Structure 1
Amino acid sequence: MTTLDQPSARPAEKARQADKGRLRRLRPQSRQDMALFWFLIPGIVALLLFHYIPLLGNIIAFQDYQPFIGIMHSPWSGLDNFDVIFNGDDQFLKALVNTLELTLIQVVFVFPVPIVLALALNSLVSERVKRWVQNVLYLPHFLSWVVIVALFQQMLGGTGMLNLFLQAQDLDTWNIIGNPDFFKTLITSQVIWKDAGWGTILFLAALSRVDSNLYEASAMDGASRFRQTWHVTLPSLRGLVILLLILRLGDALSVGFEQILLQQTAVGLDSSEVLDTYVFNNGVVGGQWGVAAAVGLVKGVIGILLVLGANKIAHLFGEEGVYRS
């Protein structure tokens, strides 16, 4: 009996040893590691308090929620709050179309800009010039959207610098800030100006890890600067680009709540309403808490599905993606 039981016991024993090995690797190996674990605690607590615990509030998507009686006493409404989605409410459809259009524009025109900037910065020979340009590009990221929108209004508004200059030259003025036709272009340009420089950090870090011997070997083979970029630099960024693109798809239906809300009154809801502002306008402003929660819940589920799908596609092309399956 002992000899018969040994083969079946070996896999279980190996599994237990593997689990012990994983736990051993997770344990702090020194006081320095323990200090790092303590530094993680505030971030974990903040993540739980402001991200995971509030997820329980999604239950109001299935209730006729009334704030003055609370979640525990609000009557259940089933899927009634989802009617705006399933039955195609006009306001919701406008918000959905605007969101998808802005998402497509930002993926096509905004996402590649940090890559191009990182390649340009990496080509600079002078470290002093490179640091100065980086500081200039990083600065807008630390400005709030209130400040940035105010700056654009001072430059491109009806009485802004551009129109004052055109008036001084006896030329026709341009209504850029209040023109619905220019709204998506305006939003995209603001995003590029604010966050493109900050987005270069990860790409510059990845470029610093590229082996310089690869460039020397390609130069000896007669490769031009463009060929070196195409065959050496860009392949080294492929994994990072795919990872960031997957994460961007997960956040695809969030296209700048505060930025758009600050400029809605100038262009109207038809051209500026997106899903995030739809949730705010119908929930916080309109008091339709259940409908707003239902739209937000569906948006979150779609984001999860996009991440899972894009990650699976990345695995099919041999990339790790966000996580390994």
Structure 2
Amino acid sequence: MPDEPAPRRRPRLSPELLAFLLSLAWLVALVAAFRVLGQQGMRISDTLGLVVVALAVFLPVALIWMAVLVLRAARDMRDESLRLQASVEGMRRGWIREQQAAGLALRPTVEEKLDEIAASQKAAEERMAMFHTRRAPTRPATAEEPAPQDGTQPVLALENPAPAPEPLPPADFIRALNFPETEADEEGFAALRRALGDHGTAILVRAAQDVLTTLAQEGIYMDDLRPDRARPEVWRAFALGARGSEVAALGGIRDRSCLALTYARMRSDPGFREAAHRFLRAFDRRFTVFEASASDGEIAQFAETRSARAFMLLGRVTGIFG
């Protein structure tokens, strides 16, 4: 629980006592005035009437005590606001601790699956490299195998490259950058496995994973952020190289607490600062490729992923959006 706010020092002269003294001073001044004026004061009071005299006597006193009541109500509201703020802050910190505990409990299982996928992908790449660089054993030339008469050279094994891999579908790209929801999210892991087969996307996924893991240690979870949505035209302008005020709408993260925690972590942790810049560079390169063939609807879906929200947060902290 946060420390309770230090009790404010009460003024030595309370508002009630001050009001009483002012009221007493006013009445004493009236009595003194009537005594000085004497009979002339009595004639004035008879002329003006009892109503005017009553107003002249009691209206200032009523105003003084009304001001006292207003000050007391304002003081009570301020004290209640401080207590409520302390209570809300305590609930927020407790919730963050619970989220951190839940995230730490789930993270090892998810990371183990990600490591398994990355290891299997690396092994497959090594096998493919060994297969495509294998050369057939050469045989000495004999009389039965004359050299070609047309001047052409025989085709070597290395001159038969493997077919280019299929481009990653936008749906898999978007699903992979949102990461699996839970360890039972089979569709999310399948999309992530296919995304790791694409070199550029694999770099971005690993960079995003490093950043999201570090932010979770600070109690910052992308699902909790509610950024302002930017139009697809702004995202396309960013992909075409626009920076600063032209793409300021991409910095839609307004949570001051998250911004402050992220900024402080970047200043104090060089490793996280390097990971954040690596993620921003990978995001920039890969999103440029994605934007060239993506529709406005796909860009809008991409903007809702956890990786895109991490980009908005880090871009706001590093000043990419001006």
Q: TM-score range by the shorter chain?
A: under 0.3
TM-score, normalised by the number of residues in structure 2: 0.21
TM-score, normalised by the number of residues in structure 1: 0.20
Q: Which has the larger radius of gyration?
A: 2
Greater helix share, structure number:
1
